[in-house]
Amino acid sequence: GEDVEQSLFLSVREGDSSVINCTYTDSSSTYLYWYKQEPGAGLQLLTYIFSNMDMKQDQRLTVLLNKKDKHLSLRIADTQTGDSAIYFCAESMGGGKLIFGQGTELSVKP
Amino acid sequence: NAGVTQTPKFRVLKTGQSMTLLCAQDMNHEYMYWYRQDPGMGLRLIHYSVGEGTTAKGEVPDGYNVSRLKKQNFLLGLESAAPSQTSVYFCASSDRGQTYEQYFGPGTRLTVT
């Protein structure tokens, strides 16, 4: 069945770049998403990429999509302590449904 | 504009008890979803609805029932709670747009003892 995989933890120093990786299985997904979850809160959409794009940049965020390898990444430039959160990758399954990865907990050390 | 709200925020149940979680959205969204979040497992879809009066099963529907009598509300019921249903439950809604961006509520932390 469909599956989305992420590594569970990432630790970086403040000011460094963070790269969070994700692999997915359904090549027919139209959109792929990155959501952010801060402690004790629900998820918020950070950014998304259409499946016919290779890259999308939005201020400090860069999303790269490799459709051949079914690999999605999120790069956060100049990572700040406020970026500490859990980041979820998700792929669209049609009919409004999403499949989420396990989430990557990003820890930013001063 | 409150977005997506959930009640209650916390609840402790004994095994075998029943309860209903309420989700409300004020964005006139067609689609609504219930997820559970467990450590290391991400979010798993329990049930969803594509419009008032319709519901469908997601990935982990067993032990749960839902109803969507009004467009703005989506109820999740546990008829006989089990310790395996200890989790954080999130409701979300989305419009019938191209990207189906989902808007999430703050979550309900449920403990079943």
Residues of A in contact with B88 (CB under 8 A): none
**Closest CA in chain B for residue A105:** B40
Q: Using one digit for the tens of pLDDT, what is the confidence trace for B16-29?
A: 999 999 999 999 99
- How close is the nearest chain A Cα to the Cα of B99, in Å? 7
Q: Using one digit for the tens of pLDDT, what is the confidence trace for A11-25?
A: 999 999 999 999 998
Q: Using one digit for the tens of pLDDT, what is the confidence trace for A57-96?
A: 999 999 999 999 999 999 999 999 999 999 999 998 877 8
pLDDT interval class at A29 (50, 70, 90): confident
CA A72 – CA A26 distance, rounded (Å): 12
N-to-C CA span, chain B: 36
Count of beta carbons in the 10 Å neighbourhood of residue A89: 27
What does the DSSP assignment read for B14-67? -TT--EEEEEEESS--SEEEEEEE-TTS-EEEEEEESSTT--EE-SS-TTEEEE
Across the 113 residues of chain B, what is the mean pLDDT of every consecutive 10-residue run?
Answer: 92 97 96 93 93 94 97 97 97 82 94 97
pLDDT over 90 (residue A28): no
Residues of A in contact with B45 (CB under 8 A): 97-98
* DSSP state for residue B80 in the 8-state scheme: S
Residues of B in contact with A41 (CB under 8 A): 106-107
Q: Give the one of B44, B58, B106 whose C-beta lies nearest to A41's C-beta.
A: B106
